[in-house]
Amino acid sequence: MSFSFRLEARAGLARAGRFDTPHGEVRTPAFMVVGTHAAVRALTPEQVRGAGTQVVLANTYHLLSRAPLVEKLGGLHSFMRWSGPILTDSGGFQVFSLPKKQISDRGVRFKNEVDGSEIDLTPERSIEIQAQLGADVIMAFDECTPYPADEALAAAGVRRTLAWLERCRAAHKSPERQALFGIVQGSTYLHLRKACAEALVAQDLPGYAIGGVSVGEGHELLCRITEHTAPLLPEGKPRYLMGVGLPEDLVAAIGYGIDLFDCVIPTRYARSAVAFTARGRLRLTQRRYRRDAYPIDTSCDCASCAGGFSRAYLHHLFAANEILSAVLTSLHNVRFYQRLVEGARAAILAGDYEGWRREFLAAYGAGAAGAEED
């Protein structure tokens, strides 16, 4: 089965669509849950699916030494027992965040964090690994520009990203099974974003991502970059905002026309006792929840809330350092994110995304003040 994307509705710039892949259809906007090591932390594939997740993401950098084994055992879908679509990133973000690496036009050299061996990750090697992993959507190897960056550094990153895309395309042998997405870089320089986007669009790729917007630039700059860049990408192809995961960021970006998101925030925050609710965040280790009989969110239909697990019980589990604390809170957070994008999609289909956005942010912001104390 080949890849296709079709728009079903628009509300302003916000879009609702359907992205067909060899492992099933994705209704957009969609939030992809991150399973870095081919596993979503604290959750089984059935629990991830039961929370409404359509797509999971795995990490090339963390799986590079395991890729031959994964291929031998049938690819990621078989290896991690996930029957739906899978996306793998290129490893670019991870290697460029390493403190010691050597970047050249050829690729990136760094030390393996496990055994200290020298590793060369090139565009060709990234595509080879992703082919072995067998994901439905694979990402081009790019240079993720840090923030802040001067214009010369950002421009060099764009030049290298585009050159590496050409090499990724040459190395990509199975476009009918794996859709290769290109990544727009350019830091906070809008003219560089425009130039990079235009060069990518000329390649007529199956989909496009906006990278380098979750590296510390903050909400306002994220919005400025996304609002500027998203309209430069084709209407008939999926648009993916990489690594962005705070609810307020998702709600803004959907309004600019983004279709796909991923982030570790739902499960990472859950392991730190932070739960997302319709009225902001809760930190379940606070004493105020020690005797609280309510579920995390009374409006939530997740297995944790609907199952009758109270804030008091979760407070107890975190205090006792029980693994179940991470399981129940992760179940809730993943479902919260899926309900968020489901609500956004329903609003777009109904033609009133702006009204839904205002209502969501009013409730979320009203409850946020004092809901979590770091």
What are the C-alpha distances in Å from 265 to residues 31, 89, 106?
A: 11, 17, 33
Out of 89, 136, 142, 249, the active site residue is 89
Q: What is the H or E stretch that residue 102 is in?
A: strand 101-103
To the query of whether residue 262 is one of the catalytic residues in this protein, the response is yes
What distance in Å separates the CA atoms of residue 236 and residue 167, rounded to the nearest whole number? 25
How far is the CA of 198 from the CAs of 176, 214, 236, in angstroms? Answer: 24, 22, 15
289 close to 312: Cβ distance less than 8 angstroms: yes
Active site residue 89: yes
Residue 256 near residue 13, CB atoms below 8 Å: yes
**Concatenated DSSP letters for 40-72?**
-TT--HHHHHHTT---EEEEHHHHTTTHHHHHH
Residues 240/216, Cβ–Cβ less than 8 Å: no
Query: Among the options 136, 259, 262, 297, which is catalytic?
Result: 262
d(CA 237, CA 253): 16
Active centre residues (catalytic): 89, 262
